[in-house]
Chains A and B, each alone.
Chain A
Amino acid sequence: MNHNIDRDLFRRIQDRVAIVGIGHLPFAKDIGRPISDTAVEAIQLALEDAGLRNDELDGMSMFEMESTHEVAIARRLGVRNLQWWDKISYGGGASAATLMHAAAAVACGLATTVACHRARNRGAKTARPWAQERELVKDDKALHVPWGLIRPVDVIGMWAHRHMHEFGTKREHFGNVAIAARKHANNNPYAMMRGRPLDMQTYLSGRVIGYPLTLYDCCLETDGALACIVTSVERARDLRNVPVLIHSLAQASGPNPVHLANYNNTPTMETTSVFCAQLLWERSALKPIDMDCAQIYDAFTPLVITGLEDYGFCKRGEGGPFTEGGRIELGGALPVLTSGGGLSEAYVHGFNLILEGVRQLRGTSVNQVPNCKSTLVTGASGVATSAVVLRTE
């Protein structure tokens, strides 16, 4: 299929832009500080990790859901002149897109050094956005909220249940995802679920939240602040860390998008990730088989099953069986969510998946995949989404 990609233009980005610094604050149920403050510290940490001065920063890419203004962050950091910035919409769909927009800006000279970040205070039960829904429901939300379909667990559960019916996917398959993420988190000193093992029996007896999904199918709710620094590969080579190259990237809404509930997009209800994956691999010299591990967005366990299918690691309907026999755990053919992901490290709209991808390529993960050369990091399925392939030189 021809998506009219100008390959020569795309090569200005491909492997020409690198992630050179990462930083994050310890995750918490209640971090006790506003995101306007934690965001600044996370970026500060990422700059220090890169060995860059604050006044070298000239670009900023963040989530539209952030209430903090770019200039407020820039002022507190001591940025001399912010010359490019961007806010990207759709919550967890925006994670990899912060890198994509930053890479495009760096590649065409609009900025030299960009901080991408997510600061999110959602640990408290009162902070759940779906629980605030009581105004007149407008626009796309009027297509599902008046029927009570508003909790993400139900919106995604609709997909998951259909997948179970159509392909014979079992709860044990979802359990394999939850257990893999938990095993990885158990080794991660930053993970909210460190030291809290999970076995299949416990998984299967989890409290029902929205049938067919239960407690252990759901991500955590966490306060966190994370950042990474993006610059040109030439500059990256002079800095202290192994440059982590941005090899391919994509954003996609798919046809007929309705926030999370775009159930009319294809005959068999594929998620937005199908369309994102198509662009991502068209632009990539690497293929799914080349990925040494994958950080697949995991707000809910079924999204990892469909993500494995959507991003081409297996065929449609085979995502469940793919998780069997430890294949997605460390030591398996495709370790997934090696930091514990949103299910067991922290739920910060997938930004922790980016940082874990960088650590794997630097060789510094607590769950290091031996000789890791390339990895996939994806944003949320269901919403308009994004994904990125990262590699080493």
Chain B
Amino acid sequence: MPLHPDYPLPDVDDPVMRPFWEAARQHKLLLQRDRRTGKAFWPPKPLYWNGGEVEWFEASGRGNIYSYVVGDEPFLPAFKDQLPLIMVLVEVAEGPRLVGYMINCKPHQMSFGMPVRVAFRDLTERIGLPVWEPLRSAD
């Protein structure tokens, strides 16, 4: 499906977020962690934070639904083809919670705690958007 001209595209050149979006373009999900404690966190910090104690790492891409909402009209025109849109808060296996939306899933199939895995939607040549789909037992 073609991208709506008004789709709210992320600024992939943001100095803090650039590694995240560069990886997402290659369909990899990066998160940040504290180099000392190994604890993952979100949102990311600048790499100079606290004398350079943070690093990006590739996440498992697995998580569970922490909360969700289902949006319908009136909505941003850019999402009209996707309504009703299941927007989710995913608690990823590494700990933090990420905002996303579901694909390959209907609202009535949603439940709290349900396992999900990351997928990527190529919005433009430069932008792959991490989205989520149900993790089926065969996966």
- Tell me if chain B binds chain A: yes
| Number of A-B contacts defined by CB within 8 Å | 110
- Chain A residues with Cβ below 8 Å from B42 are 264
**Cβ of B48 under 8 Å from chain A:** no
Decide: A264 and B96 in contact? CB cutoff 8 A.
yes
State in angstroms the CA–CA spacing of A137 and B101 once bound together.
Answer: 17
Decide: A131 and B74 in contact? CB cutoff 8 A.
yes
**Cβ of A73 under 8 Å from chain B:** no
- Chain B residues with Cβ below 8 Å from A148 are 71, 75-76, 78-79, 82, 85, 87, 101
8 Å CB interface, B3-29 against A: 6-11, 14, 17
B43 partner, pick from A135, A146, A213, A256, beta carbons under 8 A: A256
Decide: B17 and A158 in contact? CB cutoff 8 A.
no
Tell me whether A263 and B79 are in contact in the complex, defined as CB-CB below 8 angstroms, given that A131-B74, A146-B8, A211-B69 are known contacts: no
- Majority secondary structure, B binding face: mixed
**Cβ of B99 under 8 Å from chain A:** yes
A137 partner, pick from B9, B84, B87, B96, beta carbons under 8 A: B9
Decide: A263 and B97 in contact? CB cutoff 8 A.
yes
**Cβ of B58 under 8 Å from chain A:** no
In the assembled complex, how far is the CB of residue A106 from the closest CB belonging to chain B, in whole angstroms?
37
Tell me whether A154 and B8 are in contact in the complex, defined as CB-CB below 8 angstroms, given that A148-B85, A256-B43 are known contacts: no
B8 partner, pick from A134, A140, A158, A165, beta carbons under 8 A: A134
Tell me whether A158 and B71 are in contact in the complex, defined as CB-CB below 8 angstroms, given that A133-B76, A146-B129, A147-B131 are known contacts: no
8 Å CB interface, A115-166 against B: 125, 130-131, 133-140, 142-151, 154, 157-159, 161-162, 165
Decide: B76 and A154 in contact? CB cutoff 8 A.
no
State in angstroms the CA–CA spacing of A358 and B116 once bound together.
Answer: 50
* Number of chain B interface residues as a range: 35 or more
In the assembled complex, how far is the CB of residue B14 from the closest CB belonging to chain A, in whole angstroms?
7
Tell me whether A210 and B72 are in contact in the complex, defined as CB-CB below 8 angstroms, given that A133-B8, A134-B8, A263-B89 are known contacts: yes
In the assembled complex, how far is the CB of residue A297 from the closest CB belonging to chain B, in whole angstroms?
20
In the assembled complex, how far is the CB of residue B24 from the closest CB belonging to chain A, in whole angstroms?
10
- Chain A residues with Cβ below 8 Å from B96 are 264
State in angstroms the CA–CA spacing of A140 and B68 once bound together.
Answer: 20
Q: How many residues of A are in contact with the other chain, CB < 8 A?
A: 40
8 Å CB interface, A143-198 against B: 143-151, 154, 157-159, 161-162, 165
- Closest residue of chain A to B83, judged by CB? A148
**Cβ of A258 under 8 Å from chain B:** yes
Question: A154-B69, A264-B41, A269-B97 are known contacts; what are 13 more A-B pairs with Cβ within 8 Å?
Answer: A125-B74, A131-B74, A139-B11, A139-B14, A143-B99, A146-B7, A147-B131, A150-B76, A165-B112, A210-B70, A210-B72, A263-B99, A264-B97
By a beta-carbon cutoff of 8 Å, the part of chain B in contact with chain A is 6-11, 14, 17, 41-43, 66-72, 74-76, 78-79, 82, 84-85, 87, 89, 96-97, 99-101, 107, 112, 123, 129, 131
By a beta-carbon cutoff of 8 Å, the part of chain A in contact with chain B is 125, 130-131, 133-140, 142-151, 154, 157-159, 161-162, 165, 208-213, 256, 258, 261, 263-264, 269
